[in-house]
Structures are given as structure tokens and as C-alpha cells.
Amino acid sequence: MKSNATRYVICYDVSNGKRRARLADCLDAYGDRVQESVFEAVLNRPLIDGLVRDALDIIDPEADRVTVYAICAACERRRVDLGLAANEPPPGTEDVFIV
């Protein structure tokens, strides 16, 4: 994991399809989709602040819901992945090769 970074789980329920697509695109720029409306991201403080600002610019606070959970290091070590998730590296831990 990146130093001074925290793993976050971001869940959303956005009623409008256009806003939902914009939010998904926004979150995809910060992390990895792990379920239809759930993303994981490993971010430092400036990046999570940017994500929150960007999400607030997209959603309708009267109609939509977005929840950002910070996952502490102790909780992350107790993570259990089942099914397809067990075969994939957790978001933020992938090896990246630049060719």
C-alpha cells in the first residue's frame, strides 16, 4: 500500500442514471470498482479530499447517497475475500508494468 495512504470503500445509491454514470466515472479515476455501486481506493488525504469534492459536485444531496468508509490497517488485515474476489489482488495491491 502507498505510504500515508488509507484504503477506502465508497458505496453509492444515485437515483438518476446520468448522475450515477458520472459518479461511477469519477470514482473509477480514484480506485477500482468491486461491485456495481461499490469502489475501493487507496488514497492519501489530498486525494480523498478531492474525491469528496468531486462527488459533491456530481450528486444531488437531496436524492442521492454516497458513503465513504475508511478501513484501518488492523481491519484490512482481517479482510476475507470469497468467490471471485479470492482470485484477485485487492485494489491498490496490483503489480503494474509499463511497457
| Tens of pLDDT, residues 3-48 | 689 999 999 999 999 999 999 999 999 999 999 999 999 999 999 9
48 within domain boundaries: yes
In a domain, residue 36? The reply is yes
Question: pLDDT band at residue 1, thresholds of 50, 70 and 90?
Answer: very low
Q: How far is CA 96 from CA 45, 67, 89, 91, 99, in A?
A: 23, 28, 12, 12, 10
In a domain, 99, yes or no: no
CB-based contact 4:13 (threshold 8 Å): no
Please identify which residue in the block is written with the cell numbers 484477485. Answer: 88
pTM of the entire predicted model:
0.80
- Residue 62 lies in domain: 6-87
Number of domains composing the chain: 1
pLDDT digits (tens, 9 = 90+) for 64-93: 999 999 998 888 788 887 887 777 776 666
